[in-house]
Structure 1
């Protein structure tokens, strides 16, 4: 399958037009590779380490969840990460494509994969957008679990470096309704409360957002940005392999930019 056909297939599933106004989905760098057979390296975040991995693997497309370029750069200078990524993309003929908030909304996107990992039932979006899609997912645990059991499942299946949990949470509390949203989901706390969820798995939560959740009777669980979004990248690789591409692989150089010291 040529890269142009691959992108057409993907955009029929996760239309970049669905992305938020502040976002930058779609082509980040396209050095003239559309008619080449697709050799795809999938990653969460496009970094120089991922670029060098793509070069070593003879990949011609880095397919990333996070955009390389969020804000228009005022200059491009050697030694700066974005500039060096763009330079290598053109000199090595490696495209960089991003699917961000459009990928968050769709079936088998970031939120849906989290819901599947926790085996939630009767799943619906936290905030619907269109055609039954939307941001986040909320569903039922069957059988229900104590909070302690739920945290153990999250540790086992997501392997986060740590979990940050509401301090007054009762570990023996029975949890039946759970909300999930990969990446930075603290701004959805009010929407989650309206769903009737007892616990909310997301990341990048601040001090006062834990306070807000506690005051509103919601157990907030922060598993980290990487742990909550990387599984969807793995699922994307599985989907791409079903297309019989020339080559596709999940990056070994993807990084969790937070380190928890013992």
Structure 2
């Protein structure tokens, strides 16, 4: 399958027109690779480490969740990471494509994958957008579990370096309804509270957002940006593999960008 055909297939599924106004979905760099047979390296964040990996593996497309370019650069100078990515992309004929807020909303995107990992049932969007799609998911657990069991499942299946959650006096509290949103979802705490969900799995939560969550009766669980979105990249690899591409692989050089003291 040619790269142009792959992108057409993807955009028919996750329309880039759904991209938020502040976002930058679609082609980040296209150095003239549309007619090439697709050799795809899928990653969460396009970085120089991922680019070096793509070069080493003779990939011609880096398919990323996070955009390489959020804001128009005022200059591209030697030594600047963005400039180096562009230089290497054109030198080695490697395209960079981003599927961000459109991939967040779509079926089998970041939110759906999180819901499936937790085996949520009767799932619906947390923030509906169009059709049956939207940001985040809310669903039920069958059977219900204790908070301790839910935290153990999240830690085991997402494997975050640290797991933060709201202060609670009862780890034996029964949890039957859960909301999830991969990436930075703490601004949706009020929406979560209105659904009746007892727990909310997301990331990038600040001190006072844990306070807000507690005050609204929602147990806020932060498993990290990487931990909540990386699984969807793995799912994307599976979808691309079903198209019988020349080559596709999940990046091994994706970074969490955070380290924790032992």
TM-score normalised by length of structure 2: 0.99
Q: Is the 8 A contact 1:169 1:219 kept in 2?
A: no
Shift of 1:169: 5.0
Residues in 2 aligned to 1:176 and 1:73: alpha-carbon distance in whole angstroms: 47
Tell me the equivalent position of 1:112: 112
Structure 1 stretches of 4+ with a deviation exceeding 6 A read: none
Residues in 1 aligned to 2:170 and 2:139: alpha-carbon distance in whole angstroms: 21
Tell me the equivalent position of 1:195: 195
Alignment of 1:228 with 2:228, yes or no, is: yes
| SS of aligned partner of 1:27 | strand
| SS of aligned partner of 1:202 | strand
Summarize the Cα distance change of 1:197–1:169 in structure 2 as closer, same or farther, 3 Å threshold: farther
Q: Is the 8 A contact 1:26 1:99 kept in 2?
A: yes
Summarize the Cα distance change of 1:169–1:108 in structure 2 as closer, same or farther, 3 Å threshold: farther
Alignment of 1:140 with 2:109, yes or no, is: no
Q: Is the 8 A contact 1:50 1:254 kept in 2?
A: yes
Q: Is the 8 A contact 1:118 1:153 kept in 2?
A: yes
Tell me the equivalent position of 2:27: 27
Q: Which sections of structure 1, spanning at least 5 residues, go unmatched? A: none
Alignment of 1:124 with 2:121, yes or no, is: no
| SS of aligned partner of 1:261 | coil
Q: Is the 8 A contact 1:180 1:202 kept in 2?
A: yes
Q: CA RMSD in A?
A: 0.5
Q: Which sections of structure 2, spanning at least 5 residues, go unmatched? A: none
Residues in 2 aligned to 1:255 and 1:176: alpha-carbon distance in whole angstroms: 33
Alignment of 1:59 with 2:59, yes or no, is: yes
Residues in 1 aligned to 2:259 and 2:149: alpha-carbon distance in whole angstroms: 25
Alignment of 1:39 with 2:39, yes or no, is: yes
Residues in 2 aligned to 1:210 and 1:253: alpha-carbon distance in whole angstroms: 31
Alignment of 1:150 with 2:146, yes or no, is: no
Shift of 1:131: 1.1
Summarize the Cα distance change of 1:169–1:130 in structure 2 as closer, same or farther, 3 Å threshold: farther
Shift of 1:72: 0.6
Summarize the Cα distance change of 1:113–1:152 in structure 2 as closer, same or farther, 3 Å threshold: same
TM-score normalised by length of structure 1: 0.99
